[in-house]
Amino acid sequence: MEQLKCKVVMLPTEKATSHISMRNDNSGGVPYGTLQYADKLSTIDKTNLRWTSQHLYLVSNRAIEKGNDFLVNGCVLKCKYIKKSVYGTGFFNIIVDFFGLEHHETVCERVEASSNKKLNLPLLPIPFLKKYVEKQGNIKDVLIEMGRYCSDYDDVEGWLAPVTRSDNTVILDKVRDNWKLEDIRELCQKAFKAGMTYEVDGKLDIKHWLDIHLPK
């Protein structure tokens, strides 16, 4: 499995279709920008103008392809097609959305997953939505598990896409800034089991490799 680093983006939605909402003013002792979570969408007061429903989006810097959802200037759009453009001696991609508007690829980010079911993308698990509200939006980046898939029409490597559970939710992990030696050793052990080999006297010896390259 591979992991892809994604940025977490929150955007407002007009309808109460999200479990997360944000405070629009400072009245009632609730500071502007405060996030709240509702277990059931039916409990959200759609007429309460002091709260605005929000959706979360995980965006990456992966190349955008035809049919992909992408984020640009605070809007989520779908790519209708991509055309090449020339600048100086180089080429770059222009992303054309279904409104016919053109966007330079450097200002667009690919949407990998979302809490918005209407996008027909992998979904964000409910525990993550709750944690995001608990942290009051202080989760800026996450890692999602990616897998390679192929069909009779794909090349040998296949295409890369988020790994999802049976409920179509992505598998998330937090981005670590600091690593302990034991964590690195554990990852190396997983890598060996997934296919790496290291032999001593003709026998696979993971511990020997770890003791040489990552001594305790």
Model pLDDT for residues 158-178, shown as the tens digit of each residue: 678 898 999 999 998 877 666
Residue 80 lies in a domain: no
- If asked whether residues 184 and 121 sit together in one domain, one would say no
Work out the mean pLDDT of the chain and round it to a whole number: 83
pLDDT value for 70? 98
Q: How far apart are CA 112 and CA 69, in angstroms?
A: 8
Give the pair of three-digit tokens for residue 98.
């279904």
- If asked whether residues 116 and 215 sit together in one domain, one would say no
> 90 falls in which pLDDT band (50, 70, 90)?
confident
Contacts of 213 (CB under 8 A, 6+ apart): none
Q: How far apart are CA 136 and CA 125, in angstroms?
A: 17
Residue 186, domain extent: 180-216
- If asked whether residues 142 and 59 sit together in one domain, one would say yes
Helix/strand/coil for 106: helix
pLDDT in tens, 61-80: 999 999 999 999 999 999 99
pLDDT value for 151? 60
- The neighbouring-strand residues paired with 109 are 71
- If asked whether residues 144 and 168 sit together in one domain, one would say yes
